[in-house]
Chain A
C-alpha cells in the first residue's frame, strides 16, 4: 500500500515507470523479477530501515574538508547505528606495471576506514557524518550501512570520488633508458558507482563528463576551482536536491549515471568545439561530455546517442539544470528540439521528432501513445506528440520534463542500462 501511495503522489515518477515498463522486454522482466520481488519484501515491510548517503562537495579541485553524510530512516523501530566505511588513497595510473596508461584511475596506498555513529532508542531518523581533511589529491570510496533496533539492516552501494588536486595529469612512458612524457590524463570521478566489478558493469551506466571551457581561464572568468565548484553545485542539484520537474528524470534515475570531470583544454563557442589531446582522449572513455562555460552564447550539442557526443552548457544561467538535461537530451539520447526554430531532427529510439504526420502517428501508436496528439511543430513540416504538458525538448522552463515520445526514448535507455548495456 505504501508503494502505491508513493507512486500516486508522484505523477512524474509514475509516468516514467509506466514508460519504462512498456519498454522492458519480457526477457528483462524475467531477469528483474527476483530483484523486484525481493524489493517488495524489503521496501514494503515496515521496520526495514532505509539509508541514503552523499559526499559534499561532490568535487573540489583543491584542499578542503570532504564530508560523507549518511541518513537513515525507519518506521516501527528505531535507528541503532549508522556505519560509514571509506577507502581513501592516492590516485594512480593503472594497472600497476602496465605499459600503457588507463583513462580510468586506480589508487595506491589506500587505507580502509571504518567509522560509526550510535544512536539512543527512539530515533526513527538519524544522520551520521565522516569528515576527511583533503590536502593532496585523494580518491575515496564509501558505502554506508544502518542497523535498526530490530536488527534489520540496509546499505548503500559503493561510490568513488576524487578530491583535491588531481595528480594524474601526465603519463611517463618508460622505454628502458628513455622516459617519454605523454600529455594524457585519467578522468576524475565525481560520482563513480563502483559497487559491481565485472565485465558487464562498465556498460550499464551512462558516463557523463564535464570539462571547463576556455573562458574559465580568461581574465575575470574564474579558474579550475571555480569550474569544480560550479559542476559540484550543478550536479548536486540536478541529480539529488532539486525539486523542479526538469530534474525529475536525472534524480529518479541517478543510479544509471557516472559523473566525471576532465581537465582544461576544451573550448566551445556556438557549435564550434575544440578539444586538446587530454580532453579529447577522455572523451573516448565517456558517453558524452558537457563543456561548461560562463560566457553567453547559444548552446549547441551533437545529435548523437552517446559515443563521445558533446554539448555546451552555460553555468551562469538561472535555468542551468534544465539546460544540462536538455542539452544532454541531444548528445546522450539523440533527442531533437520540439520547438519551432530549434533543431527539429532526432536519432533517439524512438524519434521524438518525426518527418510527417503519418510517421508521428505510427510511432505514437507503436509506443502506446495517442496518435491524435500528433501536432506539427510550427510550420516546419516536422511533427511531435504533444500531451499538453511542458516538454523538456520544447521549452527552457524549469517546469519542463520529458514527455510522450522523448519520455519513451529516455525510458528505453534506462531499460537498456538495466539490461547491461546502455548503448
Chain B
C-alpha cells in the first residue's frame, strides 16, 4: 500500500496540477489562428446553458443583517443558484441556519458560517456585531415559515414566508414553491 501511495504521489502532482504557462508565453510570437468554420448554436444546444440547467437549483436567496441579538431579513429573492452553493456542512465555526417549514414540518435547510469572528491584520480577532449574511435555501415546495437560527448571537427568529413569495407567485406560471391556488 505504501508503495502504491508513493507511486501515486510521484505522478499525482504533474497530473492534477497544470504546467505553468508563463514559460510557454516566451515561445516567441504566436501564430495567428485561421478560422476554419463559424456555425450558430441553438440556445438549447449551448453547453453553457445545458450546464446551467444541470448544475443549478431553484432556491430562495435570503439577504439578512444580524446585529447583536437581532436579525433583519432584508430581501428574499427566488433564484437559481449552483448546487454547490446550498451549504449544509457543519464545522467548528458558528453558523447561521435557515429552516424552511410547512405546517411545522421541515422542507429544507441551509447553513452558512456566521461572520461574527473576523481577523484584522496587525490588530487581531474582531467580533462584529453587525454583519450581512446571504444564503440560499433550496425550494421545491411552498414554505409557510422560515426559521432563522444564529446561536452565537442568540438569534432564533421566525418569518412568515407567504408575503416574501407573494409577488413571485402572482405570475401566470407560479413556481413549485408557491402555494397552490384554489381550483
Contact A175 B171 (CB under 8 A): yes
Measured CA separation A252–B81 after assembly (Å): 28
The count of chain B contact residues (Cβ–Cβ below 8 Å) is 97
Contact for B61 among A50, A274, A284, A342, CB less than 8 A: A284
Contact B33 A128 (CB under 8 A): yes
Measured CA separation A283–B134 after assembly (Å): 6
With a cutoff of 8 Å between Cβ atoms, the chain B residues found around residue A149 in the complex are none
B70 within 8 A of A: no
> Do A344 and B124 form a contact, CB below 8 Å, given A33-B8, A128-B30, A194-B47?
yes
Measured CA separation A334–B18 after assembly (Å): 26
Measured CA separation A304–B171 after assembly (Å): 38
Contact B119 A336 (CB under 8 A): yes
Contact B33 A115 (CB under 8 A): yes
The count of chain A contact residues (Cβ–Cβ below 8 Å) is 134
Contact A104 B93 (CB under 8 A): no
With a cutoff of 8 Å between Cβ atoms, the chain A residues found around residue B93 in the complex are 303-305, 334, 347
The segment from B37-45, B99-107, B141-149, B153-161 found at the interface with A is B37-45
Contact B121 A298 (CB under 8 A): yes
Measured CA separation A130–B78 after assembly (Å): 39
Measured CA separation A285–B13 after assembly (Å): 29
Contact A126 B13 (CB under 8 A): no
- The residue among B53, B62, B74, B80 with the most chain A CB atoms within 10 A of its own CB is B80
Contact B13 A17 (CB under 8 A): yes
Contact for B41 among A29, A73, A87, A131, CB less than 8 A: A87
Chain A: minimal CB distance from B76 (Å):
10
Interchain residue pairs with CB less than 8 A apart (9): A29-B8, A36-B12, A69-B25, A84-B33, A115-B36, A199-B54, A272-B128, A275-B134, A341-B123
Given contacts A96-B44, A201-B55, A273-B131, 9 further A-B contacts (CB under 8 A): A6-B14, A36-B11, A113-B38, A115-B33, A203-B84, A242-B22, A303-B117, A345-B117, A421-B84
B residues near A (Cβ < 8 Å) are 4-5, 8-22, 24-25, 27-41, 43-44, 46-56, 58, 61-63, 74-75, 77-85, 87, 89, 91-93, 111-113, 115, 117-126, 128, 130-136, 167-168, 170-175
